[in-house]
A and B are shown apart, each in its own frame.
Chain A
Amino acid sequence: MSELDFPWLVSPDLRENVTGGPAGSRASSTSQRKSSSLVLPLVPYFMFVGLFLAVPTVVLFTKAFRPVTGSTTSAMMEAMNESNRSSFVFSLKLSAISAVIGAVLGFVFALATSRIERPRRLRNLVTGFSGVAANLGGIPLAFAFIASLGAQGLFTRILFHNGIDLYGMGFKIYDFWGIVVVYLYFQIPLMLLVMMPAIEGLRPTWREAATNMGASRWQYWRRVGLPILSPSLMGGTLLLFANAFSAYATAYALSSGGSRLVPVQIRFYLQGNTITGKGNLGYALAAWMVLILLFVMSGYLILRHRAERWRKA
């Protein structure tokens, strides 16, 4: 572009050469090329996503809005009938409760870790470990909890020998609270990873200013700390919610496939769709999941954007 710094100095025919003609320099001719050739290298990427993500999603929604065999209402509406609604309520409740508990514990964990100065390696150790644990999940995690909190689990037995009969109290690892406990294993570290940068972004000068003006510790947190952290806290909670809501493998393995989660219901409709003619219900349930996740993730992205306001400079 530097050739065109003083375009008025160049004679008209020469200017044409510089801007577009084959005699122009490579750099300027590429930047001046038609946008079609600029986009060409991007085609594989967009095509791949289109083929394997966009088309399936569109098909999902078109099938979801078709009626179920022998009915006139669309499968989307049908999917909210009694039995299916109860599995949605179960999934949503599970995600919400594991998200809120995970967010609170993750925040406290992050706060505690950030306040400890010695040993210095502790912070790295905790964040490093959280990076692993937040990505765990799936079958190994379910197995680990069956081995520790299952009916014959190690921790269950230890508690039993100390006079606490978990299973006598009605706890089951594949029930609601059991799944919540297992999900916390990846929810707490994920929250820590979200909150750590936010907490470290709280500048000491803010606390000093508050203290100078006579604020107590409680007042500082109430009026300064928490308001600044609140977008991160809420965003993190939404992220945890989405994380739990789309999870499937862990709950499936815990309950040997018998859980009431929405994904398990989808599996049920899909595998029996030729017999019952209710295949469209599976599409509708999946479509509802996408809509809910779209809503939650948009909220998360907006809040994350807000949270970054305080982190500049």
Chain B
Amino acid sequence: MKRSTPTWEWLVIGVISAFFIVPMLAMSRFALQRVPMSLLGRSTLFKRWNIKGIINTISDDKFRPAFLMSARLGLLTVVVVLALLLPTVLWLHLRAMKWKMAAEVVSLLAYVVPPIALVVGVSGAYRNTFPWLVSSEYGLVPLYAILCLPFAYRTLDAGVGSLDLHTLVNASRSLGASWTYTFRKILVPNLLSAILTTAFLAFAVVMGEFAIASLLLKRTLPTYMVEAQGREPQGAMAVALLLLVLTTVLFMLIGRIQKRLPNSTSQEIRVSP
């Protein structure tokens, strides 16, 4: 049945790939070339390409704090997510299998409550009782942790599930290792692939998160970009390009990790369910 030269397949792949590549090219041109669209033609195609736009934005005194805030929120979210989920998932697999189903269903709830509804609920519930959560930039961290919960849980659960956990722990414990030593020297190295995947995914999600930050009027990288778009379109485009490159690099790293490290969770990695 197999034909020697598949044609429609290549046509489909070509057209769809073009759809994916054109916006990226257009974005790069807009960010890196200072030629107005109306003057762009065969003669000006290769003129005035430079990274002035990027440098201008990076030296903008509002960019640095926004970028650093997003990066800090990303790191804090990674820490919170791992600190919360790693012990939980390990314990579920070791001693409390009965509760696994409940924990999994709970982790999926974040898919049902979209970010916008989460903000609305949080501000309704805590604006008067616990205003820090709504007013402080760092109040975003728990909300971002909730946002990351579904894929973080799935990744770590798959990672732990691929280990022979009981044997590892029993061997380590019966050789006299303490729980902390077992955790640090046995479990973490074995789960490195799942841990790094979770960390990179969570960091990428936080770096790009807009809905929650914008509704709570916080200055993060994405809200900065939207605000800068009116003032300095090329600069905003350059920042967006940088963010895109950063995200792509993070995902490529995840792909690498999945391939390289033993006990990879080897499932397709995505943020959505």
- Give A residues with C-beta under 8 Å from B: 26-27, 30-31, 38-39, 41-42, 44-46, 48-49, 51-60, 63, 105, 108-109, 111-113, 115-116, 122, 126-129, 131-141, 143-145, 147-149, 152-155, 157, 184-185, 188, 190, 193, 196-197, 207, 211, 217, 239, 242-243, 245-246, 248-249, 252-253, 256, 263, 266-267, 270, 282-283, 286-287, 289-290, 293-294, 297, 300
Contacts and interface: CB of A to CB of B under 8 A. Distances in A.
B268 A193 contact: yes
Contacts of A30: 95
B13 A59 contact: no
A290 B121 CA distance: 11
B116 A300 contact: no
Interface stretch (B24-32, B55-63, B181-189): B24-32
Q: 7 tightest A-B contacts by CB?
A: A56-B121, A246-B114, A148-B26, A249-B210, A154-B26, A60-B121, A286-B117
Given A116-B6, A131-B251, A249-B211, A211 B120 contact: no
Contacts of A157: 37, 40
Contact of B210 (A58, A129, A138, A188): A138
Contacts of B121: 55-57, 59-60, 283, 286
Interface residues of B, number: 89
B226 A139 contact: yes
Contacts of A135: 204-205, 247, 251, 270-272
Say whether chain A's binding surface is mostly helix, strand, loop, or mixed.
Answer: helix
Interface stretch (B46-54, B71-79, B157-165, B234-242): B234-242
A49 B149 CA distance: 9
Given A48-B84, A127-B268, A112 B12 contact: yes
Contacts of A55: 121, 125
A204 B1 CA distance: 11
Contact of B142 (A26, A52, A149): A52
B88 A45 contact: yes
9 contacts: A41-B87, A56-B126, A60-B120, A128-B255, A131-B255, A155-B22, A184-B19, A252-B211, A290-B113
Nearest to B120: A286
B171 interface: no
B272 A190 contact: yes
Contacts of A294: 112
Given A59-B124, A139-B208, A140-B240, A134 B270 contact: yes
A139 B106 contact: no
B124 A60 contact: yes
B96 A42 contact: yes
A143 B88 contact: no
Contacts of B30: 147, 154
